[in-house]
Structure 1
Amino acid sequence: MSKNSNVKLVKIIANLAIFLEFTDEGQLDPDLAVKMMEQMAAELQSLNYDDRKNITKMFQDISREYTGDKCEFIKELPESFGLI
């Protein structure tokens, strides 16, 4: 898979995580949001060390495309997902 494709996949993960984290409880069941975040984390944790390291760097790089709380949230995703 190309580097560009990998970055796009990481952006998709980031945007989904933002949706799950920042959507109002009236619109999204918080328990379901947590369950999905846990499932994403489990899948990402199953990657080999080099892939986890590369994804961590991509999260850091793409965090610059976001502002405020969302930027910080994306920067912290690797740790939240248990990648580092």
Structure 2
Amino acid sequence: MIAIQVARIIAHFSLFLELTDDDTLDPDEAVQMMELLGADLQALDKPFLRELVDAFAIIASEFTGEAQQLVRDIPYSCYLEEELAAGDPVRLAELEAIREARD
């Protein structure tokens, strides 16, 4: 339950940084904040991080259009699956192949 609540907070913050007009929010500052957010998320306790990653897929349906996809992609954008797979070379190779196919 707490992971879903935390995912909502992170989603709203991320959407603000991603979707706010450049005249309102300095793009360089937004990128810097997204990088800090990603680093903080990667530093979370692994069992909670797993719950949080799964929670983004659940809460994405609460959003529409571009926002829905951005929320669903937070784990991808912040390399959270890679963080969870640290030490598992097979899973890391799978994630790298997914990333290459997607980009």
Q: TM-score, normalised by structure 2?
A: 0.74
**8 Å contact kept, 2:3–2:48:** no
The within-5 A match list for 1:2-81 is 3=1, 5-81=2-78
Identify unmatched segments of 5+ residues in structure 2. Answer: 82-103
Structure 1 18/31 Cα, relative in aligned 2: closer, same or farther at 3 Å?
same
- Cα deviation for residue 52 of structure 1 reads 1.8
Identity of aligned residues (%): 36
With a CA cutoff of 8 Å and minimum separation of 6, indicate the structure with the bigger relative contact order.
1
Q: Give 4+ residue runs of structure 1 displaced > 6 Å after superposition.
A: none
Q: What is the number of residues matched between the two proteins?
A: 81
TM (norm. structure 1) is 0.90
SS of 1:70's equivalent in the other structure is helix
Give the drift of 1:37.
Answer: 0.5
Partner amino acid for 1:57? D
Q: List per-residue Cα deviations over 1:33-72 (Å, max 9, x = no partner).
A: 0001111100110123322211111011000000010000
Query: What are the ranges of 5 or more consecutive residues in structure 1 without an aligned counterpart?
Result: none
